[in-house]
């Protein structure tokens, strides 16, 4: 049985926030002290490392479940299926619906249930649930959908990644410039000739790595303020990612039976341009090869890091010719790979 991605859709928010918009921001060290460098230098270094020049924020009236629904509508339309035939809706996120001006995540009911409600699906056998797996959540959702279909308990699944990270960042933390909002969705179903998941790989490293990403207080927070924001140990994450992700990709490729020379594209979580480049370089280094030109589509320069949404959004853009000099054709072998909070890593080898 072949299991394929038969439809994609994405929602990219309209509000553009450029790096220069942070020039008057008050950035502090983790101990609350002031940086010796001015913001122009901080932003310049940030751009050189991450590759991010701008990012997108959702409108005040929208939440993560809303943009997930908008992406889902497009994916369902693209696939041509009847929404009532969906067996599962799997929605990967990390913080639930965080309303504008709020910091508390709302997951009751689940975001997947809200998407099913917005889609007006009447079929009670369409099961909707959320998946919290850090940035690799969308890939893990596809892996779960693949398992459901292989087992015979499902025929069609909708897998979504949606996040509004702009609403849970500490404005005094320079890492806040990394994060953005967005949603990407895919329809996964059994298909005779529309693609095939060849293999997958997943691992969780939690002995020493569990809290590389965590919730913490603002760098300028009164002692009585218990509001918490997304925080990370960037250097530790970088070292972990460039060490563990290339081998996971290689293991996945080996299990697929595909040769490295057949790989045409690598869709990697858009977390940090330098980190992604290092991961792919080390991956090809395992085969004593140089990185092929154009192998890694990137949209991080314009869209920032929207966590679980980065890969499905990127895939949708490439499939629809919205990324310059990037395309995929029937028969191409591509790799999906991600790393994120947990610390989790995963990969899929897929033939288009």
Q: Indicate which residues carry an active-site annotation.
A: 135, 269, 305
Which residues make Cβ contacts (< 8 Å) with residue 207, sequence separation at least 6? none
3-state SS string for the chain: CCEEEEEEEEECCCEEEEHHHHCCCCCECCCCCECCCCHHHHHHHHHHHHCCCEEEECCCCCCHHHHHHHHHHHHHHHHCCCHHHCCEEEEECCCCECCCCCCCCECCCCHHHHHHHHHCCCCCCCEEEEECCCCCHHHHHHHHHHHHHHHCCCCEEEEEEEEEHHHHCCCCCHHHHCECEEEEEEEEEECCCCCEEEEEEEEECCCCCCCCEEEEECCCCCCCCCCEEEEECHHHHHHHHHHHHHHHHHHHHHHHCCCHHHEEEEEECCCCHHHHHHHHHHHHHCCCCCCCCCCCCCCHHHHCECHHHHHHHHHHHHHCCCCCCCCCCCCCEEEEEEEECCCEEEEEEEEC
Burial of 175 (0-12, 13-18, 19+ CB in 10 A): middle
CB atoms within 10 A of CB 35: 13
- CA end-to-end distance (rounded Å), the chain: 15
Phi, psi of 198 (to 5 degrees): -95, -35
Beta bridge partners of 347: 201, 337
Distance CA 204, CA 192 (A): 33
Here the tokens at position 134 are: 């850090």
């Amino acid at each position: 049985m072949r299991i394929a991605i038969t439809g994609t859709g994405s929602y990219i928010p309209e509000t553009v926030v450029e790096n220069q918009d942070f020039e008057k921001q008050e950035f502090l060290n983790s101990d609350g002290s002031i940086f010796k460098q001015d913001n122009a230098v901080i932003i310049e270094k940030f751009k050189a490392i991450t590759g991010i020049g701008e990012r997108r924020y959702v409108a005040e009236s929208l939440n993560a479940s809303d943009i997930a629904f908008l992406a889902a509508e497009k994916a369902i339309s693209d696939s041509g299926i009847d929404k009532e035939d969906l067996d599962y809706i799997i929605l990967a996120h990390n913080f639930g619906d965080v309303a504008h001006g709020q910091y508390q995540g709302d997951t009751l009911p689940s975001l997947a249930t809200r998407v099913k409600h917005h889609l007006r699906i009447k079929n009670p056998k369409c099961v909707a649930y959320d998946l919290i797996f850090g940035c690799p959540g969308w890939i893990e959702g596809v892996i779960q959908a693949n398992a459901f279909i292989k087992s015979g308990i499902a025929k069609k699944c909708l897998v979504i990644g949606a996040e509004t990270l702009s609403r849970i960042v500490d404005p005094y933390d320079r890492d806040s410039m990394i994060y953005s909002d967005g949603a990407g969705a895919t329809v996964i179903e059994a298909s005779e000739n529309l693609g095939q998941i060849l293999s997958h790989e997943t691992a969780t490293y939690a002995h020493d790595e569990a809290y590389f990403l965590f919730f913490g207080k603002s760098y300028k927070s009164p002692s009585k303020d218990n509001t918490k924001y997304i925080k990370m140990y960037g250097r530790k994450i970088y070292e972990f990612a460039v060490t563990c992700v290339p081998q996971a990709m290689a293991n996945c490729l080996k299990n697929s039976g595909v040769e490295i020379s057949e790989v045409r594209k690598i869709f990697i979580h858009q977390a940090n341009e330098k980190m992604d480049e290092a991961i792919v370089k080390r991956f090809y280094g395992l085969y004593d090869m140089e990185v092929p030109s154009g192998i890694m589509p990137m949209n991080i320069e314009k869209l920032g890091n929207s966590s679980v949404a980065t890969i499905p959004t990127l895939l949708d853009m490439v499939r629809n010719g919205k990324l310059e000099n990037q395309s995929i054709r029937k028969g191409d072998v591509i790799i999906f790979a991600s790393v994120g909070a947990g610390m989790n890593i995963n990969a899929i080898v897929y033939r288009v």
